[in-house]
Structure 1
Amino acid sequence: MNDWNDLKKKRWLFLFLFCAINFCTGALYIWSVFAGPLAVRLNELSGNSFTASDLGQVFGLAAGVTPFLMLAGGFINDRLGPKLVVIAGGVMIGLGYIICGFSSSLNMLYIGYGLCVGIGTGMVNGCTINSAVKFFPDKKGFAGGLVTASLGIGAALLPFAINGLIEVSGISSTCLYFGIFSGIFIPVCAAFTDKCPEHFADSFAALSSGSKCTGIETNWVGMLKSPLFIPLFALFITGSTMGL
């Protein structure tokens, strides 16, 4: 019981760390801040005439691979916990931005931002959101919503810092600095997290005042067969497309 009480207190630290990690990964969605200066850099190095819109496919690749890695990250998180997966994802993100800083061709941007940052962000987001919900079975909406909101807050606030850094140091150094920061900050935060015990939620159920959960427990196959899946999926796709 003491271990459960300790973990119940420690879960708030985990939630804070998950939010801090997701705040950092919000940089994936500020591609427009990087695109213009990177296009100028590529033109100077290669003699091409790229515009920011010409680099839009790079973000498309990153946004395209992220959801698949979120699924994979959540799957692995259920078995290993968030620590190793988030550390690996953070290293991938950091490496991706560093590659962008040294990029001399469009293909390097595809590899750095499109693949490394996209894959790393998917791994990190899948684990942090998944773990937050597991640690807060009594506040699932609050925990999952707060961690997800941190991603959006990062996307809203990071452009100010990135733009300022670009003006002072240039796009190459900015990508390098942000890559080093992300590659260190995310793994360090992840190192202080842990896997949610398998029966952690049962303790909350045991302490409840005899009320029964009316929700339906099912696997992903049952989710796909549910009549609620298609309308919810359509709403999600519509909202995500409009936002991106």
Structure 2
Amino acid sequence: MNTIASTNISERTDKEILGFSRWWMFVLAFLAMSVISPYEYAWSVIAPHLGDIYGWESTKVSLMFTMFVICQAFGTLPGGILRDKFGPKLVSVVAGIFSGIGLLVCAFGQSVSYSVVLVVWCIGCFFCGFIYNAAITTCNKWFPDNRNITTGLMSAAFSWGALPFIFPIQSIPKNAPDSTFFNVIFVMAAIISGVIIITGLFMKDPPKGWTVTSQKSRKLTKRPCEKQYSMGEAMCTWQFWVLIVSFVLVSGAGLTFISKSIKFASAFHFSLAAGTVMTIGIAITSGLSRVVAGWISDKIGVDKTMTIFYILCGLFSLLALYFAEAGSSTGFITSCIVSIFFWGALYSLFASIVGYYYGEVASGSNYGMLYATAKG
């Protein structure tokens, strides 16, 4: 009886399950992922305003970004576990409320203490991890036949989503009243919560045991092992811990640079315009790399793609230092952007390889554990 039911589930198409194409699930998750992007990729333009308006020391402002990295990473684990158990709808709606509040508190630094701002900010960052995991896991669950390219596009949303917010923040005149910055933050917070809640109401996971129906697509879903690993089983494999160590080493360097890009440009006496160009270039290329890496890994394999990308990332990082010492702003900016291009792929490649090795059923929990342990 159970075998017959399982067979019927696996033979149903996405349109029979949803009533429409599974690609709409991708679009909804893509939009949700996009709006949490400013937490990381617009931070370098938000941070100076916090210091200027509230008089906070640079260490306090830097701590907020550090706590984002930690809290967002730790949020992916419970977010993944809850998503695997209850589905994406409830998780997304609740996380959407708090993700908006986390950024909104940045407009109240004159009314409440820094400690209160930091605590509420951390709560928002924690729930951003729920959204990040929910979006990435959508690719593993609904697109086992297009895992690499969809994960690449989804990861790219986390970079590209900041672009519409960078320009209005960066264009605020230095002599503008504080309310100008506050109004921008109000709008950003409303967009974050609104988009996540609305998209979350329509999110749905495929039933357990479901897979793509066409013969061609089934070939593309073939994995090294057909076993579906639980989180505990995945953690018992040595490969899982190799992935964690690799993630720590690669992500740490890139995140440090992204959060300090404007300051790095200033330290080497490059113009503010150069720093702004670099910030925008980083957001664009970091997202683009995830799509390119997904496409390449479909051709040559995800493990080979990782090796190539991270070697090139290291080489261009060294080249950036050379140009900085030489006083070449063009060489420095170009090398930094190219380095981040190869670095940004880690967010799609690691998500893909978790689904590839350990399966789709517990992909939310497995990727959440990898992401939380490594990045946190």
Match of 1:170 among 177, 180, 183: 180
**Structure 2: how far apart are the matches of 1:102 and 1:213?**
50
How far has the Cα of 1:204 moved from its partner?
6.1
- Count of matched residue pairs: 237
Residue 232 of structure 2 is matched in structure 1 by 221
Tell me which amino acid in the other structure corresponds to 2:46.
F
How far has the Cα of 1:117 moved from its partner?
2.3
When the two chains are superposed, the root-mean-square deviation of aligned CA atoms in Å is 2.8
**Contact 1:81–1:196 (CA under 8 A) maintained in structure 2:** no
**Structure 2: how far apart are the matches of 1:77 and 1:205?**
29
- 1:78-227 matches, cutoff 5 A: 78-104=84-110, 105-113=113-121, 115-155=122-162, 158-164=165-171, 170-201=180-211, 203=213, 208=218, 213-217=223-227, 218-227=229-238
The runs of 5 or more residues in structure 2 that have no matched partner are: 1-10, 256-376
Residue 304 of structure 2 is matched in structure 1 by none
**Structure 1: how far apart are the matches of 2:84 and 2:214?**
19
How far has the Cα of 1:222 moved from its partner?
2.7
How far has the Cα of 1:13 moved from its partner?
0.9
Match of 2:49 among 37, 42, 50: 37
**Structure 2: how far apart are the matches of 1:68 and 1:238?**
17
**Contact 1:83–1:195 (CA under 8 A) maintained in structure 2:** no
How far has the Cα of 1:208 moved from its partner?
3.6
Judged with a 3 Å threshold, the aligned counterparts in structure 2 of structure 1 residues 31 and 13 are, in CA distance, closer, same or farther, namely same
The runs of 5 or more residues in structure 1 that have no matched partner are: 44-49
How far has the Cα of 1:144 moved from its partner?
2.0
Judged with a 3 Å threshold, the aligned counterparts in structure 2 of structure 1 residues 204 and 2 are, in CA distance, closer, same or farther, namely closer
SS in 2 for 1:195: coil
How far has the Cα of 1:33 moved from its partner?
1.7
**Structure 2: how far apart are the matches of 1:150 and 1:166?**
28
Residues 59-105 of structure 1: per-residue CA shift (max 9 Å, x gap): 11121111221111111111211111111111111112222212223
**Contact 1:38–1:171 (CA under 8 A) maintained in structure 2:** no
Tell me which amino acid in the other structure corresponds to 2:43.
W
Residues 90-147 of structure 1: per-residue CA shift (max 9 Å, x gap): 111111222221222311320232x132112101111111122101121122222221
How far has the Cα of 1:3 moved from its partner?
6.0
SS in 1 for 2:123: helix
Deviates more, 1:90-99 or 1:217-226: 217-226
Residue 5 of structure 1 is matched in structure 2 by 15
Identity of aligned residues (%): 21
Residue 69 of structure 2 is matched in structure 1 by 63
Deviates more, 1:124-133 or 1:164-173: 164-173
How far has the Cα of 1:187 moved from its partner?
0.8
Judged with a 3 Å threshold, the aligned counterparts in structure 2 of structure 1 residues 203 and 2 are, in CA distance, closer, same or farther, namely closer
SS in 2 for 1:200: coil
Tell me which amino acid in the other structure corresponds to 1:137.
P
**Structure 2: how far apart are the matches of 1:10 and 1:73?**
25
**Structure 2: how far apart are the matches of 1:135 and 1:92?**
26
**Structure 1: how far apart are the matches of 2:250 and 2:162?**
16
**Contact 1:22–1:154 (CA under 8 A) maintained in structure 2:** yes
Q: Say which one has the larger Rg.
A: 2
**Contact 1:28–1:117 (CA under 8 A) maintained in structure 2:** no
**Structure 1: how far apart are the matches of 2:234 and 2:12?**
36
Q: Normalising by the residue count of structure 1, what TM-score does the alignment of the two structures yield?
A: 0.84
Residues 129-166 of structure 1: per-residue CA shift (max 9 Å, x gap): 11221011211222222211211222455322432368
Tell me which amino acid in the other structure corresponds to 1:220.
M
Deviates more, 1:60-69 or 1:158-167: 158-167
Residue 46 of structure 1 is matched in structure 2 by none
Residue 79 of structure 2 is matched in structure 1 by 73
Judged with a 3 Å threshold, the aligned counterparts in structure 2 of structure 1 residues 146 and 212 are, in CA distance, closer, same or farther, namely closer
How far has the Cα of 1:227 moved from its partner?
2.6
**Contact 1:90–1:186 (CA under 8 A) maintained in structure 2:** yes
Judged with a 3 Å threshold, the aligned counterparts in structure 2 of structure 1 residues 73 and 166 are, in CA distance, closer, same or farther, namely farther
